[in-house]
Amino acid sequence: MDLNDIGFSNIRLPDDKNSYIYTYDPRIETFPEEVFLHEFLHSLERDMKEHGYDIPALHSNEQHGYVDQPKIGLKDWYHAYMTKTILDKTTNTYIGLYPEVYTMKPPHKSEFDYPINVSFNQEPKNVFDDIKDMIGVLIGVFKGQTV
Classified as helix, coil or strand, 140 is helix
Q: What is the pLDDT of residue 26?
A: 62
The DSSP string of 71-99 is: TTBTHHHHHHHHHT-EEETTTTEEES--G
- What predicted TM-score, i.e. pTM, was given to this entire model? 0.60
Angle, alpha carbons 116-117-118 (nearest 5°): 110
Rg (CA), the chain: 19
Q: What is the pLDDT of residue 10?
A: 55
DSSP designation for 120? T
Measured between alpha carbons, how far is 63 from 67 in angstroms, rounded to an integer? 9
Q: What is the pLDDT of residue 94?
A: 97
Residues of the chain with pLDDT under 50: 1-3, 147
